[in-house]
Chain A
């Protein structure tokens, strides 16, 4: 079996193994072993990728192609470049951390871990697919378990949140499907056969009239899951009701599918549509960045703060993609990774704080640095990463975005860039506000004086996510160069 198909096979085996387990202890053990193997493979893939890239100059390496449904020319077609390798690594780390954070998931543990791993199958499949139809199928596999995970294991108004999230994402999927079919039915514009293969379609000149129509459909279809303003409202409610590991996976990985899809499908296949529409989506993305940040200032629930912060940070990803140059794109991918680690860690910490104090209201918390120092210090560090402190991952990503966006001399671009850059101040305000109220000051509630200490599995989950944040921030060169190199063919395709 090839190195990439293992990414789907191993979670399937894990799920099958889970079916035969009984009780929490066995279920979490199986889930952990499966995820550790997966992470090992993802790390191995990075090295294998560099080795392969040295001898193979193709856009996608480790490719494999099997006909799946001949009538419509649907293939199981896979391959990776630097961008997908990086995102696969992100996914593997977040999934494993999520398993550790769910170490004490007492309600229906087996079913919970099954849903979690199934979700990850969708994500892995999405990142390795180069066939549009297969890609769409994996996208749906990733989205659907979310309904169960929130509806069954959630808290608060979970049925409402699960319904809202699923309906909005499904609506987006319907739009996306139309867009994808539109691309498919135009893929014979140069006289060849109809195809779903991304690399083949990229060589076809889809008529401008069709691009103009299908680009916004594909863009919006993907952007809803990346919380594009004004389609972001599923996110705060969804996150606040979801159990910790699900929030982590959803914000850390699933929300990245949008940006990746836009980059891989919408922009690469519909370049003229991209140029035609970019001004409109730049406006939406710019609004999203600043609007999310200002909304976060007013929130009092930790998960809402983080959800709006995600709207702002992912707005930056979409903004950077629309800047259409290598530096900004590199920033977009780095921001996806950085935000993935950061926000997963944020949700993990919020889960730990909630698990101990039973509240997420920052005004009811206070002085936590004194009672749970480890968790609080990590919260401060992630907060600093989120506000773009040098030496942590957020800075590296944001600077690529800003420098890239500044390559445009046009007034419209300049103004929107400066608005986006100014978000660094607003971000500092909401991060420090939450940290100041919740972590510092006197201990608000005497009951908090003897909160349980951080456990080994919590620490493991935290460190898994913290190491990449610091690593990316201190030594970004290899990662940034790996991604940058892979962007070359794509930027040529668009411009």
Chain B
């Protein structure tokens, strides 16, 4: 079976980017919107065709999904080590193609309405295409270096799109922050790649991931500070993943990234780019699982669980709806990480891995829907803040219904998509690690509470004083909402365990009824509490907030992570490192050179008498000086 045509999937958006980027001024906005949408429609069609071919027609041999790789050398480092560019088709990459295509297409359509009349309309579609190209490249990467290359490219697209409103200082600052924080994490990723390639001699996923291959079998042959060097490499690579996926403590860029236009938040900072970290761990899953008995994988599990809990607590206290959704994203990404962390490898043991990918898929649909719904609301009331919203269900029926569906999905209420994937995650956690399971269940309750807090806050309660009467968004914006709502309803019925498993052979998954009942029960409690607190405006919420005292304040100030980073960056690095170095350079290093110069002038003043004023004399003195010096030096040192 030949999948080489999939190379078109990234190439089409790249062409669109170049077209819109170079002829930016010459293309009419309306035309550029169509170019963007139809370009992506083509890519999406090929992606769906690929998925159909792969999963249902031809890729299964003896019950195991095969991997297809096609690549060409891009640059040689040594005779054996080189960066390749190519495509790798296996269950998770095909699944990601579907996610990226679907969400990106919906966001493209939505943006035609949302960005209408914006000065940089064409530029916006160019950037969206650049991002989509990079994300496809990342998904299809055949080796660590290729994934790193596209990893950086999605990072820069994210930078450009967060800073899209570049005349706004807060947007510029947010873009810079996102880039630098993730770059810092990428430093770990890069060093991890360097260590990995040094000890295994390859960047290739195929070679690295082979459970019988030398990379996995020989992990014990190297050691550094009590661990295998390969484990260190995996931990460093995971740091890169944690940066992109906004895991603790690299999460601080994600809430600020909400400065970007809302469609961007939906596409990049909810559904696709932020799951790159999850995808990276999944991509190297056999290594994480087999090397040093899964030491690095345990770290993944705990980082995921703690991030899920931490973000869910903060989400409850935020008043900007996009920030609530941002922390919600971080929390859900934590779920996916912890699911990978508790997963096994063969057969049914791989349920965690399967659940993580399943949740990645369903989350992409309902979280994109939540963001696009929030965008629709923001579009109508011109504010991001909960205090400026209320009673909107009357004015925006479609947005209301679709937002409710997404909220039920994320709260884990059957039969919506989130219920199925979250249930599998909790099953995996329950079988592996009880502590993580309890955290997971608690977070499920928090999730239901915070999402219904904003749902009731936006669509129920009293009307606020609106400048213009809010009205439903145009079809270009409501169509994506309806489509994603449909996906959030039916997405849970996809039999993921047959398609996406670590050993690629599929297994039968069953609902675990007692665990499902507990999860749904906790979710319902969260919804009921939110209903009591927020359906009608009352003082209950404030009373409870006060009861928590300082803890509430810490949570609403995001546990001061931003302040810590700011302190390190501004007070320590800028004031205590950079400024002294600049001073040292001016005064000490340059000062010494100046001193030598000044001393020379001083001496020359003293011996001025020797000056004859004849150029020939100077030339003679200069040349003979150099020659004498040279002869003296050579004489001394050759003997």
Contact = CB atoms under 8 A, between A and B. Distances in A.
A194 B290 CA distance: 63
A167 B597 contact: yes
Interface string A184-216: 011000000000000000000000011001100
Interface stretch (B177-185, B343-351, B441-449): B177-185
Contacts of B149: 390-391, 395
B525 interface: no
A441 B166 contact: yes
Interface string A213-237: 1100000000000000110111000
Interface stretch (A65-73, A254-262, A427-435): A427-435
Contacts of B619: none
Nearest to A290: B581
B574 A297 contact: yes
B626 to A, nearest CB: 6
Contacts of A186: 638
B225 interface: no
A400 interface: yes
B156 A389 contact: yes
A356 interface: no
B306 interface: no
Contacts of A370: 167
Contact of B585 (A177, A233, A441, A480): A233
A325 B120 CA distance: 48
Nearest to A334: B75
B637 A389 contact: no
Given A230-B589, A369-B166, A298 B579 contact: yes
A432 B77 contact: no
Interface in A168-184: 168, 174, 177-178, 181-182
Most chain A beta-carbon contacts within 10 A, residue among B176, B184, B626: B176
Contacts of A209: 637
B626 A174 contact: yes
B153 A389 contact: yes
Interface stretch (B34-42, B320-328, B503-511, B628-636): B628-636
Contacts of A460: none
Interface in A404-427: 404, 406-407, 409, 418, 421-422, 424-425
Interface in A289-309: 291, 294-295, 297-299
A476 interface: yes
A484 B180 CA distance: 33
A409 to B, nearest CB: 8
Nearest to A442: B167
Given A178-B629, A295-B585, A441-B167, A424 B187 contact: yes
Contacts, number: 145
Contact of A476 (B75, B145, B574): B75
Contacts of B626: 174, 177-178
Interface centre among B159, B183, B198 (most CB of A within 10 A): B183
Contact of A400 (B77, B574, B593): B77
Interface in B492-525: none
A425 B633 contact: no
A442 B145 CA distance: 38
A200 B175 CA distance: 56
9 contacts: A167-B597, A234-B593, A291-B581, A389-B152, A403-B194, A428-B180, A440-B166, A440-B169, A484-B76
A184 to B, nearest CB: 9
A384 B168 CA distance: 21
B74 A477 contact: yes
A422 B189 CA distance: 12
A168 B582 CA distance: 20
Given A404-B77, A407-B198, A480-B76, A432 B629 contact: no
Contacts of A425: 180, 183-184, 187
A213 B639 CA distance: 12
B578 interface: yes
A400 B82 CA distance: 10
A34 interface: no
The listed residue with most B CB atoms (<10 A of its CB), out of A178, A407, A418, A440, is A440
B167 A440 contact: yes
Contacts of B217: none
A421 B581 contact: no
B529 interface: no
A112 interface: no
A328 B190 CA distance: 16
B266 to A, nearest CB: 24
A436 interface: yes
B589 A481 contact: no
Interface string A24-49: 00000000000000000000000000
A402 interface: yes
B304 interface: no
A400 B76 CA distance: 9
B577 interface: yes
A477 B75 CA distance: 5
B590 A403 contact: no
The 6 nearest A-B residue pairs measured at CB: A298-B582, A390-B149, A233-B590, A440-B166, A440-B172, A297-B578
A264 interface: no
A53 interface: no
Given A298-B578, A476-B74, A428 B179 contact: yes
B187 A432 contact: no
B163 interface: yes
Tell which of B73, B150, B574 has the most Cβ of chain A within 10 Å: B574
Contact of B630 (A177, A299, A367): A177
A396 interface: yes
A203 B76 CA distance: 30
B77 A403 contact: yes
B81 interface: yes
Contacts of B184: 425
A220 to B, nearest CB: 14
Interface in B31-69: none
Contacts of B152: 389-390, 395
Contacts of B592: 230
Given A428-B180, A429-B180, A164 B597 contact: yes
Contact of B167 (A177, A182, A367, A399): A367
A299 B198 contact: no
B85 to A, nearest CB: 10
B611 interface: no
Contacts of B172: 436, 440-441
B589 A233 contact: yes
B191 interface: yes
A338 interface: no
A418 B74 contact: no
Given A400-B77, A436-B175, 14 more contacts: A164-B593, A186-B638, A210-B638, A229-B589, A233-B593, A395-B152, A399-B145, A402-B190, A406-B197, A418-B191, A424-B187, A425-B187, A432-B180, A440-B163
Contacts of A213: 633, 637
A384 B156 CA distance: 9
A146 B187 CA distance: 39
A439 B156 CA distance: 17
Contact of B194 (A396, A406, A424, A440): A406
B187 A182 contact: no
B78 interface: yes
A114 B176 CA distance: 44
Contacts of B145: 399
A176 to B, nearest CB: 11
A327 interface: yes
A481 B73 CA distance: 12
A327 B578 contact: no
Contacts of A297: 573-574, 578
A432 B172 CA distance: 10
A209 B150 CA distance: 50
B173 interface: yes
Nearest to A327: B77
A313 interface: no
B150 to A, nearest CB: 8
